[in-house]
Structure 1
Amino acid sequence: MSSKENTIFGIYPIQEALASNINFDKVYVQKGISSDKIDAILAELGKKNISVSSVPMEKMNRLTRGNHQGIVALTSPVPFHSLESVVEKSLAGTKTPLFLILDQITDVRNFGAILRTAECTGVDAVIIQKSGGAPISGDTVKTSAGAIFKIPICKVDHIKDAIFYLQGSGITTLAATEKTKNTIYSTQLDKPLVIIMGSEGKGISHSVLNLVDEKASLPLLGEINSLNVSVACGAFLYEVVRQRTI
């Protein structure tokens, strides 16, 4: 469910938002709806590379109780950055840049908590996919404790393409997964690195796991066999800090 302060709905309000400098996060269009005005909006969204999802009327009605006219937009309080420009800048500034990829993290509070830890541990940028992940809402901003305004966020069409680009730039891709015997404590982290964290329910997708350079896990000594993703991310990031500062 979106919050009122980051929701725009209806044809004319969204047209006005497109004409301004408002940052769009996601746009939802009702399945089966068609009109010249909505088609024109969709064309403009395509030009600006803004993600659009076609959803049932029930989903639209849950997003807002107003007269949405078949289209609802979620706005973002922060601008999104180009992955290429952020990587180039980071590589020019340090020999050991650190990036974080979030593969379909869906909980806004987890997202915010991860952003807070990422900023505290010197992550150069957080990379997310345009579709499927948590929206940047007021809850995200609050949980991040303002970190969302300090760390670049890059939105990409596909996580796999981002991995290929980062690997081509000489950056090691490391998946945080329980599907390996290698632990984070036996993994070399003092090199150009991107850590990939998976979703709350499914973890990292198989297609992404097949692409990464390395995999690492956290030892679990109790009866519960998993950690909250924001907690696990914090453990990974602070092991990077430990190795780079000893």
Structure 2
Amino acid sequence: MAEPPKLKAKSNPSGKPQRGKPERYTGKRADLKHNATKQDGEKRHVAGKKDFSRPVLASPTYNTERDKTDRFSSQIPPSTSEEESDLIYGRHPVLTALETQRQLNRLWVTARLRYDHRFHSLLQQAKENGTVIDEVEPKRLDQITHHANHQGIAAQVAPYDYLELGGLIDKAKSTSQQPVIVAADGITDPHNLGAIIRTAEAIGAQGLVIPQRRAVGITSTVMKVAAGALETFSVARVINFSRALEELKAAGFWVYGTALEAEQSIQTVKFSGPIVLVVGSEGEGLSLSAQRCCDLLVSIPLSGNTPSLNASVATGMALYEIFRQRWQNVNYVNMGTKKDKLEN
């Protein structure tokens, strides 16, 4: 450390001390100011000298305005709620939404697909109904769908409009004399829920009941996996799942629950009348509260080493058995009618 400059004596002819006037430095004054010592015992640092013990953080520089936008946009965390995502993509899901005149806020389509004979008139009609149509390059669709298989088209849809349970019951009874409603207890995988909806609608079921809590709702992934089935298939979302099952029983439905430990096999049960098929979640299965609300628990017999089935696969197998019995009875009645006509 450099020594401070020595004081130079000031000439005083009288020899008397100069009172009231402090002695001054005549040489070059060194700045010996120190930073205040911190309470945590950090080292003092002389002002004007660099402290090489601490890293120096350089301030960011931006070459373009786009660099600034990219930097700050990357700091924004992505949305973790899948239900906030209201995007559907793929030719079949979007085509079905257009054909059923579902409310679409915005639609992105490639030039090649926009003038396709299957889409052109429907896109014009959607534009007249207020949908914003953007003709974009495939790379833009890759960005919007996060490199999913968009097939040249994507659309932003309005949030799914759930039915009330009472409305679902009335609609099911008006559609069929022996309606079938699926009740999914705590399905958390959107792919499973989408597959259940697709299978249930294809085989002839009238609707679906799902709980509001601890279960996935109708998201863009569910819509994609359902492959357009939601455009003609009703879903009710209820707060209390057990109470909803009791309400269905009061409306005349017979409630069957699928459980791995159930003693009665599904092929031994005679299904007739209005039916509610209750299926459990992927890991936990059917909850105890839901089991208590069921009129009968049935199991699907398995002969292999795999101990259980996927939720959507089990639902499809159970639904097939229900409708197989009905198709068999219908064919038997038709055959009997034809035989009576031949004998007469």
Both proteins in one fold, TM over 0.5: yes
**Match status 1:100 vs 2:182:** yes
Counting strand residues as a fraction of each chain, which structure ranks higher? 1
Pairing partner for 2:284 from 195, 202, 220: 202
**Counterpart Cα distance in 2 of 1:108 and 1:92:** 29
Q: Taking structure 1 as reference, are residues 129 and 76 closer, same or farther at Cα in structure 2, changes over 3 Å only? A: farther
Q: CA offset at residue 179 of structure 1? A: 1.9
**Match status 1:5 vs 2:85:** yes
Contact 1:76-1:136 at 8 Å conserved across structures? no
**Match status 1:128 vs 2:128:** no
Contact 2:168-2:235 at 8 Å conserved across structures? no
1:41-73 Cα deviation digits (max 9, x unpaired): xxxxxxxxxxxxxxxxxxxxxxxxxxxxxxxxx
The corresponding residue for 2:196 is 114
The corresponding residue for 1:229 is 311
Q: CA offset at residue 162 of structure 1? A: 0.8
1:67-216 equivalences under 5 Å are 77-216=159-298
Count of residues in Structure 1 that have an aligned counterpart in Structure 2? 181
Q: CA offset at residue 5 of structure 1? A: 3.5
For 1:126, what is the secondary structure of its paired residue?
strand
Contact 2:172-2:206 at 8 Å conserved across structures? yes
Q: CA offset at residue 85 of structure 1? A: 1.6
Aligned AA (1:105): I
Runs of 4+ with >3 A deviation = 1-7
For 1:240, what is the secondary structure of its paired residue?
helix
**Counterpart Cα distance in 2 of 1:104 and 1:239:** 23
**What root-mean-square deviation, in Å, do the aligned CA atoms of Structure 1 and Structure 2 show?**
2.0
Q: CA offset at residue 94 of structure 1? A: 2.5
For 1:135, what is the secondary structure of its paired residue?
coil
Q: Taking structure 1 as reference, are residues 5 and 180 closer, same or farther at Cα in structure 2, changes over 3 Å only? A: closer
TM-score of the aligned structures, taking structure 2 as reference length: 0.50
For 2:278, what is the secondary structure of its paired residue?
strand
Q: Could you list the runs of 5+ residues in structure 1 that have no partner in the other structure?
A: 8-20, 23-74
**Counterpart Cα distance in 2 of 1:163 and 1:136:** 20
TM-score of the aligned structures, taking structure 1 as reference length: 0.69
**Counterpart Cα distance in 2 of 1:175 and 1:76:** 33
The corresponding residue for 1:35 is none
Q: CA offset at residue 91 of structure 1? A: 2.1
Task: Determine what percentage of the aligned residue pairs are the same residue.
Answer: 31
Q: Taking structure 1 as reference, are residues 245 and 234 closer, same or farther at Cα in structure 2, changes over 3 Å only? A: same
Contact 2:257-2:279 at 8 Å conserved across structures? yes
**Counterpart Cα distance in 1 of 2:81 and 2:238:** 22
Pairing partner for 1:219 from 301, 308, 314: 301
Q: CA offset at residue 90 of structure 1? A: 2.1
Q: CA offset at residue 76 of structure 1? A: 6.5
Per mean C-alpha deviation after superposition, the further-off stretch among 103-112 and 185-194 is: 185-194
Q: CA offset at residue 209 of structure 1? A: 0.5
**Bigger RCO of structures 1 and 2 (CA < 8 A, at least 6 apart):** 1
Contact 2:175-2:206 at 8 Å conserved across structures? no
1:199-219 Cα deviation digits (max 9, x unpaired): 111011111101210111100
For 2:173, what is the secondary structure of its paired residue?
helix
Contact 1:129-1:157 at 8 Å conserved across structures? yes
For 1:109, what is the secondary structure of its paired residue?
helix
**Counterpart Cα distance in 1 of 2:183 and 2:85:** 27
**Counterpart Cα distance in 2 of 1:99 and 1:166:** 9
Q: Taking structure 1 as reference, are residues 76 and 164 closer, same or farther at Cα in structure 2, changes over 3 Å only? A: farther
Q: Could you list the runs of 5+ residues in structure 2 that have no partner in the other structure?
A: 1-79, 88-102, 105-156, 329-344
**Counterpart Cα distance in 1 of 2:187 and 2:260:** 17
